[in-house]
Structure 1
Amino acid sequence: MDKKLFFEEQKEQSLVKSTIVSKYFDVWSKVIISTQKRYPNNSQKIAYIDLFAGPGRYKDGTVSTPHMILSNAVENEDLKNRLVTIFNDKDESNTKELEKTISEIPNINNLAFKPDIWNQEVGENIVLKFEKISLIPTLFFVDPWGYKGLSLRLVNSVLKDWGCDAIFFFNYNRINMGLNNDKVLSHMNALFGENQCEVLREKINKKGKNERELIIIEELCQSLKKYGSRYVLPFRFKDSKGNKTSHHLIFVSKNSKGYEIMKDIMARESTANNQGVPSFAYDPANFLPEQTLLFQLSRPLDELKDKLLNKFKKRKITMLQIYEEDNVDTPYIKKNYKDALSYLYKNDLIYAISNSGKPPRHGTFGDDIIVTFN
């Protein structure tokens, strides 16, 4: 599809993407600002950077992510006095339209810092700029049309500093094709790492499409972790028929709290869940009864129950410690752990008690409940 046509109307996938980003920004900013207020001698600013911002609106009038971020900020007393924003797009017509769109936001002049709009190609110059400075707490969003400009160095140039998280839209179709295209070898090396990219090509050779996708996403996540980011969380977007993956939204952080916040947001935006375990995917086909029935053939919560009994055998540990120790790189959210432990307790497979010596109340399983595994 031509890039110009993309902004003719907002697809549902784009709305879900913008919703996830704006919801995370809302919660993330509150956490950062709360921390800043405890240390008033430090910087009292936060930032939102979008390097492929687009025109700010789709042709049907629907607003995109930059508009959503700014519209919420002008209504928030803390945000409007702290928020620094940078919006970039190499297409000058997009930046001009974005300037116009931003100027029309009610009360936009109440922001202490006027949005800064750049018209640059994303590449070495921008990476060097971020690498050389110490950033204030920043949510960094990268939504390239394909893959040009997206690199491990770019993501890490922001994540190196305290309070900084990154979200980027990963065009799976184009990158899947690009991995075996020598003409874009430099872009693939920048995204996965040169050595890892060669290993990846060997791993996906002659693999089926589903296994190939899992390998590519896993390798990307591992490459990001090698750059020092402990927490990486992908969210998959399927095409309108649910036949194949179009994109992944990838969240990257060095902080467990950010990971937990984003995990809960992505779980709520998932189009399906199985035994309460979210799919971490937007898939229109999940709304079809026959697809939902097939999805229910797996039993992930039952698998979690068995996993907990084996992993924590002979241990005495709180519910919160179980969750923190086990949930990273799994599809399970905190509620899944509470549901699994409640089941195990009701069936006398574990012993559970609170600090005050009381058993868990019916239908609840608090963070501080102490669990003893047989």
Structure 2
Amino acid sequence: MADQFFDERLDQSEVKAEIIQKYFYAWANVITPTAKQNGNKIGYIDLYAGPGRYKDGAASTPLLILQHAIQHPVLSQMLVTFFNDIDQNYSATLQTEIDKLAGIEKLKYKPQVQCNEVGEDAEKYFNDTRLIPSFSFVDPFGYKGLSLKIVNGVIKDWGCDCVFFFNHGRINAGISNPKVETHMDALFGPERAAKLRESLPKKNPALRESLVLEELSQAIKDMGGKFVLPFRFKRGQRTSHYLIFVSKAFRGYEIMKDIMAKASSTEDQGVASFTYSPADASMPLLFSLAQPLEKLKEDLPTAFAGQTHTMRKIYEKHSVDTPYIAKNYKQALRELEEDKAITTNPSKRRKGTFGDDVLVTFP
């Protein structure tokens, strides 16, 4: 499968790479000022980095990240990169491609490329080592090498966020397979894995998918990943895989949520689906039935009954584990104000605006 993956850029691969790159650039901008005062380093870690280029010659994420750093005067002096792939040919090819990058000598820290299996040694290293502020991408094609301990290890320190590839199809099939029980236990934790083995056979495919994702998200939160954000990729009507973002900081969650919302192929009443599907994108009218903004308008007066908060505080308190981004809250609150369901201060503002500092009182 890995060989096929790098044959050509599929539309899903491009969307995935775009999400990773956009977040890295935004994350670096946020982290850099503080990192300058504390060691003057930030990191990018890719544990399944691939050969650097697709067979059509297009650069994959590792080279694009490095090219961006080369062109950025501050980042070029701060960025520490670590690339790994278990495939020796991939690692060797990636090293060659990195060496050929124009301006690679501008980087203060030479990129590290290794060829290792991601397993218990990696778990121990990331959990025992204090990391510089780092953004990590863990992209195994199945489930071997992906564990709660790996995820926890790469996000445990300040400024550290992670995205990992979650192959729903393989994991759904692997839950009940005794041959891969160890891998399932490493991914979900033994107790949650046992719970899934018991409950999944009784569920239909849609419920199985939801339950697997819920248990994974809760397992990550139990280990310290305060914010978990899944983005789904579909082929036809079936889920092929997820990108799952993990952070301990709301600011990182907010940035990634905006990026994933824009990458979604459909939206309903301005609320993103957090799904990329070529079929859905070609038939947007089929996906305008749920009316999620109406649900938000109904929920806010109940959730905040008798309370007064700024728009920003309402958004921060309510938006976690929902598909809503800041602009959805502003629209919902504007409509609630028009319906006289809330009062605001200041109540007189430029038409169509709802600033972060506007005070909202719910009856």
Query: Which of 224, 227, 230 matches 1:231?
Result: 227
| Secondary structure at 2:26 match in 1 | helix
Q: Is 2:362 the partner of 1:373?
A: yes
Residue equivalent to 2:261: 267
Residue in 2 that maps onto 1:198: 194
Cα deviation digits, residues 69-96 of structure 1 (max 9, x gap):
1111111111100000000001110011
Question: Which amino acid in the other structure matches residue 286 of structure 2?
Answer: L
2:286 corresponds to which of 291, 294, 309:
294
User: Structure 2: how far apart are the matches of 1:213 and 1:326?
Assistant: 24
**Structure 1 CA distance for aligned equivalents of residues 299 and 199 of structure 2:** 28
**What does 1:252-331 correspond to in 2, within 5 Å?**
252-289=246-283, 292-331=284-323
The TM-score, its normalising length taken from structure 1, stands at 0.95
User: In the TM superposition, what is the alpha-carbon distance from 1:208 to its structure 2 partner?
Assistant: 1.2
Kept in 1, the 8 Å contact 2:48–2:138? The answer is yes
Pick the aligned partner of 1:123 from 99, 119, 122.
Answer: 119
Gaps of 5+ in 1: none
Structure 2 distance, partners of 1:159, 1:107, is 31
How many angstroms does 1:133 deviate by? Answer: 1.4
Q: Which residue pairs with 1:220 in the alignment?
A: 216
One-letter code aligned to 1:23 = K
Give the Cα–Cα distance (whole angstroms) in 2 for the partners of residues 318 and 43 of structure 1: 36
Find the counterpart in structure 1 of residue 16 from structure 2: 17
* Deviating more after overlay: 153-162 vs 79-88: 153-162
2: CA distance between counterparts of 1:269 and 1:90?
A: 30
> 1:23-38 alignment to 2 at 5 Å?
23-37=22-36
Where does residue 75 of structure 1 map in the other structure? 71
Provide the rounded CA distance (Å) in 2 between the counterparts of 1:65 and 1:118.
16
Match of 1:178 among 174, 179, 184: 174
Determine helix, strand or coil for the equivalent of 1:74: helix
Give, in angstroms, the shift of residue 104 of structure 1.
2.1
8 Å CA contact 2:84–2:115 kept in 1: the answer is: yes
What is the one-letter code of the residue matched to 2:262? R
Query: Does the 8 Å CA contact 1:24/1:261 hold for their aligned counterparts?
Result: yes
- Cα separation, 2, equivalents of 1:217 and 1:172: 9
Instruction: Provide, for residues 106-139 of structure 1, a one-character-per-residue CA deviation record: whole Å limited to 9, x for no partner.
Output: 2111100010001100001111122221110010
The answer to whether the 8 Å contact 2:51/2:94 transfers is yes
CA distance in 2, matches of 1:321, 1:201: 40
Q: For 1:167, which of 163, 166, 170 is the aligned residue?
A: 163
**One-letter identity of the residue aligned with 2:338:** K
SS of residue in 2 equivalent to 1:266: helix
Using the TM superposition, give the Cα deviation of residue 264 of structure 1 relative to its aligned residue in structure 2, in angstroms. 0.4
8 A Cα contact 1:9 1:58, kept in partner: yes
Aligned counterpart, 2:129: 133
**AA partner of residue 301 (structure 2):** L
Tell me the residue number matched to 1:341. 333
Partner Cα distance (2:340, 2:355) in 1: 18
What is the rounded CA distance, in whole Å, between the counterparts of 1:295 and 1:268 in structure 2?
16
User: How far apart are residue 181 of structure 1 and its match?
Assistant: 0.6
Shift in Å at residue 315 of structure 1? 1.3
Q: Which amino acid aligns with 1:18?
A: A
In structure 2, the partner of 1:7 is 6
1:65 counterpart residue number: 61
Contact kept, 8 Å, 1:353 with 1:360, in 2: the verdict is no
Q: Secondary structure at the match of 1:77?
A: coil
SS in 1 for 2:350: coil
Q: Which moved more, 1:60-69 or 1:244-253?
A: 60-69
1:111 aligned to which of 107, 114, 126: 107
- Deviation, structure 1 residue 346: 1.2
Aligned length: 363
Unaligned runs of 5+ in 2: none
The residue matched to 2:4 in structure 1 has which SS?
Answer: helix
Question: Which residue, out of 141, 144, 158, partners 2:140?
Answer: 144
1 CA distance for matches of 2:106 and 2:263?
Answer: 32
Higher deviation after alignment, 321-330 or 208-217: 208-217
Residue of structure 2 aligned with 1:157, choices 126, 144, 153: 153
**Structure 2: which amino acid aligns with 1:260?**
E
Ranges of 4+ aligned residues in structure 1 off by more than 3 Å: none
Residue pair 1:3, 1:145 contacting (<8 A) in 2 also: yes
Q: In the alignment, which of 49, 56, 64 is matched to residue 52 of structure 2?
A: 56
Q: Which residue matches 1:249?
A: 243
Following the alignment from structure 1 to structure 2, what is the Cα–Cα distance between the partners of residues 109 and 145? 32
Residues 1:361 and 2:347 aligned together: no
Is the 8 Å Cα contact of residues 35 and 133 (structure 2) preserved in structure 1?
no
Q: Deviations over 1:236-268 (max 9, x none)?
A: 0001xx220011000001111100010000001
